A and B are shown apart, each in its own frame.
Chain A
Amino acid sequence: ETGVTQSPTHLIKTRGQQVTLRCSSQSGHNTVSWYQQALGQGPQFIFQYYREEENGRGNFPPRFSGLQFPNYSSELNVNALELDDSALYLCASSLGSGGPSSEQYFGPGTRLTVT
């Protein structure tokens, strides 16, 4: 069984640029959630996708957007990058429509540095 994978592992961007991060769900999982983990902090929920629709969103501005594809893989797009966007971005997948009792399986993350 393949776990959650994310690409790229590391990324360096300049302030104002745009970035796309990618995630492949664990086999059979149809819900994907994205989290931002700033240095020294716990992960913060960005949004969740289920059946290619956004299914919930945290307190992040609209320049954070996402997509989910028919094979349940997902992208996180961030426009107009700011220095504070530097963080580890984690993708997590779960079975069914997610839900508060569902176990989320995390990928290794993408480390984004904005200079």
Chain B
Amino acid sequence: AQSVTQLDSQVPVFEEAPVELRCNYSSSVSVYLFWYVQYPNQGLQLLLKYLSGSTLVKGINGFEAEFNKSQTSFHLRKPSVHISDTAEYFCAVSEKGSQGNLIFGKGTKLSVKP
């Protein structure tokens, strides 16, 4: 069955340090990949998505992610984080041929400390 695993439930990091949030997925068909961010008491906002083409995808707020088909991974990175990046981050996939329902991981809480 299709699933998304976010390997870290919480990631504490100091301001201006680099960060990587890990995501692995399993699916029997090809997928599209997404990263969403959720700030406290808000809905989800799309950070970036991989549909096709270059495996390195750049998103908003300086985030980027790399699709690795052999590793079935889509890790999110930022070279230098800010306090304002403190939020929960969700990796999601949708399967090609589906009606577009997103399958989410359990989320990673990123805490940026001064």
Query: Which residues on A are within 8 Å of B, measured CB to CB?
Result: 4, 31, 33, 35, 40-45, 48, 55-56, 58, 90, 92, 94, 97-109
Chain B: residues with Cβ within 8 Å of the partner, total of 28
Q: Are A4 and B43 also in contact (CB < 8 A) when A42-B90, A42-B107, A101-B94 are?
A: yes
Closest chain B residue to A41, Cβ basis = B106
For the A-B complex with A41-B106, A56-B99, A100-B31 known, give 7 more contacts whose Cβ atoms are closer than 8 Å: A48-B100, A94-B100, A97-B99, A100-B100, A103-B46, A108-B41, A109-B43
Q: Which of B6-56 contact A (CB under 8 A)?
A: 31-32, 36, 41-46, 49, 51
Is B87 part of the binding interface, using a Cβ–Cβ cutoff of 8 Å? no
The CB with the most chain A CB atoms within 10 A, among B43, B94, B103, is that of: B43
Query: Which residues on B are within 8 Å of A, measured CB to CB?
Result: 4, 31-32, 36, 41-46, 49, 51, 90, 92, 94-107
How many angstroms between the C-alpha atoms of A42 and B95 in the bound complex?
17
